[in-house]
Amino acid sequence: MTKLKWGMIGGGEGSQIGPAHRLGAQADGLFEFVAGALDHRPDAGREYAIKLGIDPSRAYGDWKEMLAGEKGREDRVDLVTVATPNATHFEITKNFLEAGFNVLCEKPMTMSVEEGEEIVRIAEKTGKICAVNYCYSAYPMVRQARAMIRAGELGKIRLVVTNFSHGHHGDAGDADNPRVRWRYDPAMAGVSGQFADCGIHALHMASFLCDDQVETLSADFASTISSRQLEDDAMVNFRMSGGTVGRLWTSSVAIGRQHGFEIQIFGETGGLKWFAEQPNQLIFTPLGGRTQIIEKGEGGLSEEATRLSRVAIAHPEGFPLAVANMYCDLADALRGKARDGLPSASDGVRSMAAVHAAVSSANNHGAWTDARPPMFR
């Protein structure tokens, strides 16, 4: 099978997310890394791209140069990943979609709901894929949980409780570190800090597992380090269109927590729990029965969980391979086999609508607020 051609914007040397994309895109031999504009410093970006094996003619200084260079090639990239600071996502994604490229955009897809709705319309008009990297939904045991919920093993879903909390930004003395500071700067991060950074992963996961959408929410935001303009801690209550109750906590100052993303789903006849620090296990408790630990790689799992598992039971698969599963689904979609687990531009705009609704709610003492983008009301 011929490899698909892949290019990347952002994610340069020292980036947190760049290595995960490069490992993920190439893990299964589906993509070849052929083009990149990897740094806001043109010379540094070109040098690093060449160091990674990209031909100098396709090691670009910035995204505009990459767009111009790739647009005219017969062997142009099949997919572009946008892994730049939040404020740049819309312009880059819009221009590449309009030029006929497929895009995987890091979250948040845009800074505003209006921009998000425009991306949805452009993707529909051009017929190009615009996916958003909600990669936690691509872990095998998350797909197993979704299959069990769809099969009715939990009955009607009553309650979702989720959190994404860590303590890596809890040092006030490190608050001016540029790699930390931008996340709480409205000029770079937008209207929200921690909720837009990590909380929307948890919110998307709730929608993904329940096959339902957040309709209204009530939020409380706090900036626990005084120099920060945006929140580093948030509590969000929400209601889904099917009546499910949701509780979400997200924090970057929870010292002692490492990568504390977890979600619990409670239905009429059972409950499930998945924890990102133990991603190969799914905890299932049927009503009136014993709690079970379901392991990745064991027999009897769903088709999706089996398809996205690579190594045998007892061997862990971590974050880069969850990102790799996104690229597996993208490769299938590019070849005409759609996967319903692939987060789309519609998911991206729903997340941004929830962010703006949460900001509005927090500024109004937790008032319940419509969390849907206007195009989906």
Residue 317, CA distances (Å) to 48, 296, 322 in order: 28, 9, 8
Same domain, 191 and 319: yes
Residue 115 neighbours by CB under 8 Å, 6+ apart: 90, 352
Whether pLDDT at 317 is above 90:
no
pLDDT of residue 146: 98
Same domain, 17 and 66: yes
φ/ψ of residue 337, rounded to 5: -110, 95
Query: Domain containing 18 — which CATH number?
Result: 3.40.50.720
Any domain includes 373? no
- Between CA 293 and CA 281 the distance in angstroms is 6
- Choose the final residue of a domain: 118, 135, 152: 135
Model confidence at 24, pLDDT cuts 50, 70, 90, reads very high
Same domain, 30 and 150: no
- Choose the final residue of a domain: 135, 153, 171: 135
Pair 248, 206: CB distance under 8 Å: yes
- Between CA 305 and CA 301 the distance in angstroms is 6
Whether pLDDT at 112 is above 90:
yes
Same domain, 206 and 77: no
Any domain includes 310? yes
Question: Mean of the per-residue pLDDT values for the chain?
Answer: 95
Find the farthest-apart pair of alpha carbons in the chain and give their distance in angstroms, rounded.
64
Query: Domain containing 327 — which CATH number?
Result: 3.30.360.10
Residue 206 sits at the vertex; the CA angle it makes with 170 and 345, to the nearest 5 degrees, is 95
pLDDT of residue 116: 98
pLDDT of residue 14: 87
Pair 109, 84: CB distance under 8 Å: no
Residue 329, CA distances (Å) to 255, 294, 353, 359 in order: 35, 24, 25, 33
Same domain, 328 and 206: yes
194-206 pLDDT tens trace: 999 999 999 999 9
Same domain, 13 and 99: yes
Residue 311 neighbours by CB under 8 Å, 6+ apart: 297, 317
Give the mean pLDDT of 51-62. Answer: 98
How far does Cα 92 stand from its chain's mean position?
17
pLDDT of residue 313: 76
Residue 2 neighbours by CB under 8 Å, 6+ apart: none
Whether pLDDT at 234 is above 90:
yes
Give the amino acid at 62: D
Instruction: Indicate the Cα dihedral angle 265, 353, 135, 78, nearest 10°.
Output: 150
pLDDT of residue 374: 98
Percent over 90 (pLDDT), the chain: 89
Domain that holds residue 230: 137-363
The structural domain count of the chain equals 2
Any domain includes 316? yes
Same domain, 122 and 163: no
- Between CA 186 and CA 124 the distance in angstroms is 30
The model's pTM is 0.95
> Which residues does residue 162 pair with via DSSP β-bridges, in sequence order?
248, 263
Same domain, 21 and 104: yes
pLDDT of residue 220: 98
- Choose the final residue of a domain: 87, 119, 135: 135
Same domain, 219 and 88: no
Same domain, 115 and 259: no
- Between CA 93 and CA 147 the distance in angstroms is 32
Any domain includes 375? no
